[in-house]
Copies of this chain bind each other. A is one copy, B any other.
Amino acid sequence: MKSRSVPVTAFQPGEGFLPDCQRLVKEQVIPYQYEILNDRLEGVEKSHALENFRIAAKKTAGEPVTEEFYGMVFQDSDVAKWLEAAAYSLTVQPDPELEKEIDGVVELLASAQQEDGYLNSYFTVKEPERRWTNLQEAHELYCAGHLMEAACAYYEATGKDGFLKVMEKNADCIYEQFMNHCSKGYSGHPEVELALMRLYRASGNSKYKELAQHFVDVRGEAPNYFMEEKAKRGWNVWGPTGNDAEDTDYTQSTLPVRQQKDAVGHAVRAVYLYTAMADLANETGDAGLKEACETLWKSITHRRMYVTGGIGSTVIGEAFTVDYDLPNATVYAETCASIGLMFFARRMLELEAKGEYADVMERALYNTVLAGMQLDGKRFFYVNPLEVVPGISGKAATQRHDLPQRPQWYACACCPPNVARVLSSIGSYAYSEGEEALFLHLYLGGTVKSAKGYSLSCETGYPHCGAVRYVFHGEQEAVLALRIPGWSRNTALTVNGEAVDLAAAVRDGYAMLNRQFHEGDVIELTLDMTPRKVFASSKIPADTGCAAVQRGPLVYCTEGVDNGGDILSLSLNRDGALREEDFDAGLLGGVVPVLADGWRTQQTEDLYTASRPGREKTEIRMVPYYTWGNRGLNQMRVWLPEA
């Protein structure tokens, strides 16, 4: 069954965990990031992102310019992602001041846009003669894509179309270049494809879909565009040792997309591309493209994904490696990659409502994506390791990127605003609607409006509590499709207190409630929150002999601060139980700690010894992975040996 994410305005947050995250983003993250984009915050990496546009605007106006562009070639995208998140936030709660700030930035963008619609501060300020000559490295289409997304978001959130018009004009400029002037090539970093699909839906103009389809179709055709481009372009963004055009896997351009079988290369690029492919397959009914998406989905989620929903095993190219290579300490698992996995999952869900897609989307969200942000919304992880040992993590040559604590802001600041835009629009991930049904993918407090007129309010303590209570508002026949997570072993569903036979009602992971609903009908879903041990396939060398703990959608971790500092000497008791403590509202923003029967092995003097070290029983205390690193420098592990 097909569906489309509900518009961001269709969801109004209520009480609970994800709504609190939305409010945190609105109240803390967005103002904080706005200060950073304006270079008004001391002690963090300089952004200069808005200043770059101000310089570009001066140039566009023909004023003399002496200031220089500063930052990454894709610095514009930080502004775009902030705009997108800020736009969504207006749906969380109206905020005239924020809207004014957004309007100010949009005005700045419009003034930096050139006559022909071109909009990019790097090229306008620094390389005006080199437009479209380095698609491999220069993120020109990538930045455009992010701005298009932001424009769509602002239009969806407010109905105001000024920004949308700016970005339509920009898209027209790109269309002109690649479709009318037949410029060859496509973006080294996919993003514009998925953005054009959104722009197509927001504007109703099908040329943007046509352009997206073009970029998807020509990708990976022989001879390889990036190698041809590199041979003739004569300039590099990253210097002579930068991105290698020959590494076509890095840019997912080794083969045409319909022939790709394995998720390879830069993980963020990969999932952004697959997101566009899935969206396009949905819009066009292209069976070959759908099949490629399914194949690539399996490649990731059946063979190349961490239990936390992290993807990209290596810092080398921030990339996928090979099947089952999932090291816990040297991992990359970029926050943005898991965000991209949520995008991909959402589009796959739209294409076909299957619980498997929602399970992965939820896994990525509640574990890696949320871990990317400190609980106060002020510090961020780019890389999300599953094992941290201060003294090794962040220090050893192979783990320099695996920081044991969140930094404030990065020179390459892609992740923080990406977290913000996902959380602030979480309603559109939680619900999708099609002709047949309204799909309830994620559980969160608040009210969703169906396009069919009725609405549904939800109250839940999820993800810490498994009771989800919906109240129907309206009087009509409707089909509600409630996701039943794959991890919930004992699930109960009632309508007005009457049990639903799940065995009969569940189809592809969704319980289908098809009936005449009445105002005030109560639907109660009870998920099995019993903490459980999770075991990895023995094909993953890094996890053999180990178990992880999950409760509900949350992967748990063991931190030194709860366990006497040293957790390397801890192992789970194979025959031992897991127990949950009461919800502790004062701990880590509110969590349910889990206790596990375990062993503590005595430390030995020797590096290696033939005398088996003694061990004693102990209780291991665990907290949700997304909360790790919020209580100072300490050891952390997701997988513990089990003995």
| Interface residues of A, Cβ cutoff 8 Å to B | 240-241, 301-303, 305, 307, 313-314, 316-317, 319, 321-325, 327, 329-330, 387, 389, 391-392, 395-399, 487, 489, 532-541, 544-546, 548, 550, 566, 568-569, 571, 574, 601, 603-604, 606-613, 640-643
Contacts and interface: CB of A to CB of B under 8 A. Distances in A.
B612 A533 contact: yes
B537 A608 contact: yes
A613 B535 contact: yes
A321 B330 CA distance: 13
A289 to B, nearest CB: 25
A321 B393 CA distance: 11
A535 B568 contact: no
A167 B612 CA distance: 52
A387 B319 CA distance: 22
A398 B568 CA distance: 24
Contacts of A302: 606-607
| Top-8 shortest CB links A-B | A545-B641, A321-B396, A538-B569, A316-B397, A325-B396, A532-B610, A314-B397, A325-B392
Contacts of A640: 545
B610 A545 contact: no
A550 B608 CA distance: 11
Contacts of A321: 392, 395-398
A639 to B, nearest CB: 10
A535 B643 contact: no
A321 B324 CA distance: 25
Contact of A327 (B313, B398, B540, B608): B398
A640 B545 CA distance: 8
29 contacts: A302-B606, A307-B608, A313-B398, A317-B397, A321-B396, A322-B395, A324-B389, A324-B392, A325-B392, A325-B396, A327-B329, A329-B541, A330-B330, A389-B541, A392-B541, A398-B398, A487-B610, A533-B612, A534-B609, A535-B604, A535-B611, A537-B608, A537-B609, A538-B566, A540-B568, A544-B571, A544-B641, A545-B546, A642-B643
A564 B609 CA distance: 30
Contacts of A641: 544-546, 641
Q: Is the interface of A mostly helix, strand, loop or mixed?
A: loop
A296 to B, nearest CB: 15
Contact of A398 (B314, B387, B550, B604): B314
Contacts of A317: 397
A210 to B, nearest CB: 37
Contacts of A642: 545, 643
Contacts of A329: 327, 541
Contacts of A609: 534-535, 537
Most buried by B among A389, A396, A566: A396
Contact of A607 (B303, B397, B569, B607): B303
Given A545-B545, A641-B641, A643-B643, A607 B305 contact: yes
B389 A606 contact: no
Given A322-B391, A610-B534, A571 B550 contact: no
A332 to B, nearest CB: 10
A198 to B, nearest CB: 31
Contacts of A487: 610
A266 to B, nearest CB: 11
Nearest to A542: B329
Contacts of A608: 307, 534-537, 548
Most buried by B among A302, A544, A642: A544
A506 B25 CA distance: 70
Contacts of A545: 545-546, 571, 640-643
Nearest to A642: B643
A368 to B, nearest CB: 14
Contacts of A611: 535
Given A392-B541, A398-B398, 14 more contacts: A313-B396, A314-B398, A321-B392, A324-B389, A325-B392, A327-B327, A389-B541, A534-B609, A534-B610, A535-B611, A538-B568, A538-B569, A545-B546, A545-B640
Most buried by B among A535, A568, A608: A608
A297 to B, nearest CB: 13
Most buried by B among A303, A397, A399: A397
Nearest to A324: B392
A525 to B, nearest CB: 19
Contact of A537 (B316, B536, B607): B607
Most buried by B among A302, A541, A544, A607: A607
A357 to B, nearest CB: 15
B535 A612 contact: yes
A319 B398 CA distance: 11
A641 B546 CA distance: 8
Most buried by B among A316, A317, A395, A610: A610
Most buried by B among A317, A319, A329, A640: A329
A171 B319 CA distance: 50
A610 B529 CA distance: 13
A643 B396 contact: no
A573 to B, nearest CB: 11
Contacts of A305: 607
B301 A550 contact: no
Nearest to A548: B608
